[in-house]
Structure 1
């Protein structure tokens, strides 16, 4: 167990501006609530709750044996919590929910594949089977089915009569320990007599594991997601890792120093290259295993930068070197766990930094382990990313609520019925408001349709262009070399075109959605002025924040053209003649290219477009409630208004209080 949990606090300084801003915003919301009616109070309470429940998602990906689980264990302050030597069959994503509210006092939850997911793997061979079928690799499919049969038989033998009962279910516990976790996520070695027979009992059918814990050294809630390596036999891991990365604020790529990026799986490279630079952190682990870390680390850094540049990944990406083993020694206060080689490497590093190796400090070991730098980098990205976006959205909504409170207050103080207009361009207020909402609902739908059509058209164009170039290249190859040997066309060009199309969609979406939202806010603001006339004075309604466009992770998924497999040789051998080569290969590339387009459209573009509509609809409905309240406020009594004022500071009027709060909110936003 950890004895020096205080070390986990190093790096929190990167979060201080964000947590301070959230604290100040909470105070301002409380001030607003003091002069708000019940409806506005409920909205403000929701804003506070969202800030209080803010959770940043950090996903760890990387090579098998690079030390992902060991790194997550250290950040959780629980060395050896998650098994760090997972059997290749295991494809379990484990999420540590840190400082989050556990449902019904649950401390651990393990969810199993449902019947359809299991059938997809067992009958179709999962994603790899899908690719093999598309490529017509019959021999490969036979091998896949054989391996699947062995896996299924072993799973049924372990679970017996419970096998069919657990699919689609979940097991929940009010505790977790090493034995329980290993039962669900780690198979172990069946031939090892020292292995507990319960180990890995459910591992084959477990899809995800969730653990809940409190770490007071962290000032915010975190989701630390430990994913399997992406290079498993049936590519189940790749699908699960991609699913985990969607919605993640930070992606930490854990690599072994001895491998770094030179032998990195291209599947992983394709995935991480879709992220924005500021979302990526590379943690080069296991520098304690290097013979000469002082000399080798700069060399590895240079190789990493070259590899990043070759794969169009910004060389500004944060790269941190360290050792989970050194970190464990510092955290547990037990340097004796280090091997002789690890200790010598640490001493070398110690001396290179100008320290006395004879006076080794646990704090210095922690610093040299890279964990403080990793924590700082993670926290910095959270503060600049999800934290900043939450603050912007909350301030935006709070300012609008303050304006709505002010408009409602003005309406309730009017004594002359004529001061409150009951006719808006020839329509009753209810009809005028409904007309405006319908108008913008239609505009939102029309914009979504146009955006979808344009991006799909451009993605389809990218497909067609790539297929033509690949086919032309194939024919040229055949004309020069005949039917000898194999030939493969790099799909990197396809991904470049698809990424360009997606980012063009993102830019157009932000620009045109921003214009639509601004127009809606202006028209809503005009309704307030129509209802209240000159009594409203200086008044504004802000447009909602444009939804974020997530990175196009679907582009990174493996397609048949990426696979370097023996089936390609057999694929060529089964075809005779230029026409057969060209037509069959063209059909294969078109199918593979379209699979990426379909994934982007269905899993990412559709979600973005739905967020556009939902954000605007929420904004319009909130304004509708206030506008209708104002339109029907003629019967409100002066006593009610006096009661609201009594809740606020007695030396200031409600309007002055609202003015001060709005001034503060606008100052914060500047």
Structure 2
């Protein structure tokens, strides 16, 4: 039983500024809705909903048994909810949505608390027929024996799954199960395969659906948090078929923060290099390292500085700046503090807690559970999360909603000014064209312009990526030939692909900068043109009237650059690859082909999974911006029955003595103060 839930509020102080800003902007939108017409009120309610639905996604990554699930359980105020001892076959990503309502599901319960989604038939077939990502690498490398072995293992898994699920197996693929409750037994049924159970022992339902479960979503209400959070617990990345690596990459693409959970005994050891390759492509402020299990160190106070130095050296090696968050702690101490019991701690762990506490005199005199909580590192983790969310996703959402609210207020005020005449049409001649016609032309022009800019950005990126590939292939091939000339065909040789990733990352970051600059300018130009049309349409000059350009979309970090490629693998594959070839020309030709194929697979992944979506989003943002103003101009210049009724209501408000125009002015000044 959780006795000290109030400890979870320890990170709320860092969230206070963001929560206050959200509340202030929400109240402003309420006021706008109260003095505006029905259309404006509905749009203001939509903007308010965006604030209310905000939930920063925090993804936990690391090795199997590093403590990711244990930390997630503590932050979810439910120790034991997620299984913390997961069988290596399990490849399920579990999302815990805190203070967030589940999406409506007509076939599910009214108040969904748990939803489990199964692999589609295509996804399952990709694993079984091709051996997943590892099978793809084996086939590309010509490692047919390894490919056959992979397929045999996967087929064995498929047979076991079919035997467990029987005739329901085929029917379940592509489906989902939803429940109005959540508990550990339910979760284990879907995400934890567990070990083989001796007949008559254990729960036969454990792991029943684990092989085919793609994702698990849990929805919890935790009033101790002032904000909504989404905790994403990923399986360890070191798995047989690289499924977990793919899942981790997919999870990080939509994540605000990445918490890398490490074991204090082997923090950033050589087996973590694949993980470092992934997170090195994130922005530094997106990364928090949580070094778990300090309770298992002989001398936590003395060893932490040494471990920290080692971590910083490794980060430097991977070109990750030292400003990433590094927090040391113990999930076991955090659980003990939350539960208000030492029963789960070993004698050594409790002794380490007492010794570590003695090194922190600032905690002297505090409640023992508060002391244990502080020593566990959980407050430091929550504060680091809060600071980064507040300055990152939270700040970006505030600015986007504020800009939209300002434009909406100006649209409402322009409409009110036009309706003072009782809803009559406002006629302005633009060289023989109406205002609505000019807006249509403007929308068409910018639809073409943004499409051209996006295509140019995409072409430039692909050209740079291909140039990086060609340069890398040439250098690698030259190095291979030099090796052959010096050592002949004896021995093995391998070329580090880090240089390729550095070039590809540079190309991607150049794309991100160019996109931000070009789209911001295009959006600003569109806003000034729209503003000019309003100025021509309005009969009264308003000094505060201006249209703000929308924000250019944020370009996500190129996490796909971190995926494992054949060139990263240190295995018998390479020895066999060499043994199958004879002659310098064959070596160089085949290796160049392999490198080119591997490099191109990274480029395709970035283009298909990140670049395409962000460019389409860029077009959609401008399209929606112009569409909204096009509708407002139409309602001002070509009023219909609905707008005429709105005009009569506006006049009624004015005649009743309520100065709506002044209210709009106050709202605008308040929004400007928020931006200051």
Q: State the TM bucket, normalised to the shorter chain.
A: over 0.9
**Residues 655 and 112 of structure 1: CA distance in aligned 2, closer, same or farther (over 3 Å):** same
1:175 matched residue in structure 2: 181
Tell me the equivalent position of 1:57.
57
Equivalent residue, structure 1, for 2:77: 77
What is aligned with 1:430?
436
> 1:276 maps to which residue?
283
Q: Classify 1:108/1:634 alpha carbon distance in 2 versus 1 (closer, same or farther; 3 Å).
A: closer
Measure, in 2, the Cα distance between the counterparts of 1:649 and 1:371: 59
Q: Which residue of 2 aligns with 1:7?
A: 7
Question: 2:115 is paired with a residue of what secondary structure?
Answer: strand
3-state secondary structure, aligned to 1:11: helix
C-alpha distance in 2 between matches for 1:216 and 1:637: 43
More divergent stretch after superposition (430-439 vs 304-313): 430-439
Partner of 2:361, secondary structure, is: coil
Deviation at 1:231, TM superposition (A): 1.1
How far apart in 2 are the matches of 1:640 and 1:114? Answer: 50
Q: 1:295 aligns with which of 289, 302, 327?
A: 302
Asked whether the 8 Å contact 1:262–1:304 carries over to 2, the reply is no
* 1:567 match: 573
Q: Deviations over 1:601-654 (max 9, x none)?
A: 111111111011000000000000110111124999999656336658976522
Judge which range, 290-299 or 260-269, deviates more: 260-269
| Structure-2 change in CA distance of 1:356 and 1:594 (3 Å) | closer
Determine whether 1:541 maps to 2:541. no
Tell me by how many angstroms 1:128 deviates: 0.2
Could you list the per-position Cα deviations for residues 162-196 of structure 1 after superposition, in whole angstroms to 9, with x for gaps in the alignment?
22221111112111222211111111221545332
Secondary structure of the 1:337 match is: coil
SS of equivalent to 2:358: helix
1:332-375 CA distance string (max 9 Å, x none): 11113210110111111011112799997111000000001101
Q: Residue 532 of structure 1: CA displacement?
A: 2.2
Distance in 1, matches of 2:549 and 2:459, equals: 25
Residue in 2 that maps onto 1:337: 344
1:360/1:662 Cα in 2 relative to 1: closer, same or farther (>3 Å)? closer
Superposition map of 1:98-137 within 5 A: 98-102=98-102, 103=104, 104-137=110-143
Q: Secondary structure at the match of 1:252?
A: strand
**TM-fit CA distance, 1:426:** 1.5
Q: Which residue of 1 aligns with 2:107?
A: none
Greater Cα shift, 264-273 or 325-334: 264-273
Alignment counterpart, residue 637 of structure 2, candidates 610, 616, 631: 631
SS at match of 1:109: strand
* Correspondence for 1:243: 250
Query: Does the aligned pair in 1 maintain the 2:15–2:387 contact within 8 Å?
Result: yes
1:522 aligns with 2:537: no
TM-score by length of 2: 0.96
Q: 1:423 to 1:370 in 2, by over 3 A?
A: same
User: Is residue 491 of structure 2 the alignment partner of residue 485 of structure 1?
Assistant: yes
Structure 1 distance, partners of 2:176, 2:267, is 37
Taking a change above 3 Å as real, the CA distance of residues 645 and 564 of structure 1, as seen in their structure-2 partners, is farther
TM-fit CA distance, 1:2? 1.2
Deviation at 1:261, TM superposition (A): 0.8
Counterpart Cα distance in 2 of 1:413 and 1:592? 66
Deviation at 1:554, TM superposition (A): 0.9
Instruction: Single out whichever of 568-577 and 425-434 deviates more from structure 2.
Output: 425-434
Matched, 1:304 2:315: no
Give per-residue Cα distances to partners, 1:406-434, cap 9 Å, x unaligned.
Answer: 1111111248979x433212212222111
C-alpha contact (below 8 Å) 1:189/1:195 kept by paired residues: no
Change in Cα spacing, 1:648 to 1:323, as seen in structure 2 (3 Å) is farther
Give the Cα–Cα distance (whole angstroms) in 1 for the partners of residues 268 and 546 of structure 2: 52
1:16-31 equivalence runs, <5 A: 16-31=16-31
Q: Does 1:353 align with 2:339?
A: no
1:601 maps onto 2:607 in alignment: yes
Paired residues of 1:256 and 1:286 also in contact (CA < 8 A): yes
Query: Structure 2 regions of 5+ residues with no counterpart?
Result: 105-109
Distance 1:306 1:416, change over 3 A: closer
Q: Say whether the 8 Å CA contact 2:420–2:651 is kept in structure 1.
A: no
The answer to whether structure 1 residue 262 and structure 2 residue 269 are counterparts is: yes
SS in 2 for 1:65: coil
- The whole-number CA distance in structure 1 between the counterparts of 2:357 and 2:268 is 26
Quick check: 2:60–2:234 contact (8 Å CA) kept in 1?
Answer: yes
Output the aligned Cα RMSD. Answer: 2.0
Is 634-643 or 169-178 further displaced after alignment?
Answer: 634-643
Matched, 1:466 2:458: no
> Structure 2 CA distance, aligned partners of 1:447 and 1:601?
16
Instruction: Tell me the equivalent position of 1:48.
Output: 48
- Alpha-carbon distance between aligned partners in 2 of 1:231 and 1:415, rounded to the nearest angstrom: 70
**Matches of 1:474 and 1:358, distance apart in 2:** 66
Aligned partner of 1:202 in structure 2 is 209
2:292 is aligned to 285
- Equivalent-residue separation in structure 2 for 1:550 and 1:62 (angstroms): 21
Q: Is the 8 A contact 1:412 1:636 kept in 2?
A: no
Partner-residue secondary structure (3-state), 1:224:
strand
Of residues 247-256 and 536-545 in structure 1, the stretch that sits farther from structure 2 once superposed is: 536-545
Separation of aligned partners in 2, 1:634 and 1:64: 64
Task: Give me the whole-angstrom Cα distance separating, in 2, the residues matched to 1:640 and 1:251.
Answer: 49
Which residue of structure 1 lines up, in the alignment, with residue 332 of structure 2? Answer: 325
Q: Within 1, Cα distance between the matches of 2:298 and 2:651?
A: 73
In structure 1, C-alpha distance between the alignment counterparts of 2:179 and 2:640, rounded to whole Å: 56
Question: Could you tell me which residue of structure 2 aligns to residue 592 of structure 1?
Answer: 598
Q: Is the contact made by 1:411 and 1:633 (CA closer than 8 Å) also made in structure 2?
A: no
For normalisation by structure 1, the TM-score amounts to 0.97
- Quick one: which of 385, 389, 396 aligns to 1:378? 385
Greater alpha carbon shift after TM alignment, 504-513 vs 409-418:
409-418
- The 2-side partners of 1:640 and 1:593 are apart by 60
Going from structure 1 to structure 2, the CA distance change for 1:523 and 1:17 (only over 3 Å counts) comes to same
- The structure-2 alpha-carbon separation of the partners of 1:416 and 1:600, relative to structure 1 and needing over 3 Å to count, comes to closer
Q: 1:154 aligns with which of 148, 153, 160?
A: 160
Q: Across the two proteins, how many residue pairs are aligned to each other?
A: 669
Offset of residue 329 of structure 1: 0.7
Indicate the residue corresponding to 2:145 in structure 1: 139
Partner of 1:581: 587
Distance 1:646 1:33, change over 3 A: farther
Q: Is the 8 A contact 1:97 1:210 kept in 2?
A: yes
Change (3 A) 1:306 1:39: same
Between the aligned partners of 1:539 and 1:593, the Cα distance in structure 2 is 51
1: CA distance, partners of 2:608 / 2:362: 56
C-alpha distance in 2 between matches for 1:647 and 1:322: 60
Structure 1 residues not aligned, in runs of 5+? none
> Kindly tell me: are residues 59 and 371 of structure 1, through their superposed partners in 2, closer, same or farther at Cα, counting changes over 3 Å?
same
CA contact (8 A) 2:422 2:647 kept: no
For residues 484 and 467 of structure 1, the distance between their equivalents in structure 2, rounded to whole angstroms, comes to: 22
| Partner SS for 2:613 | helix
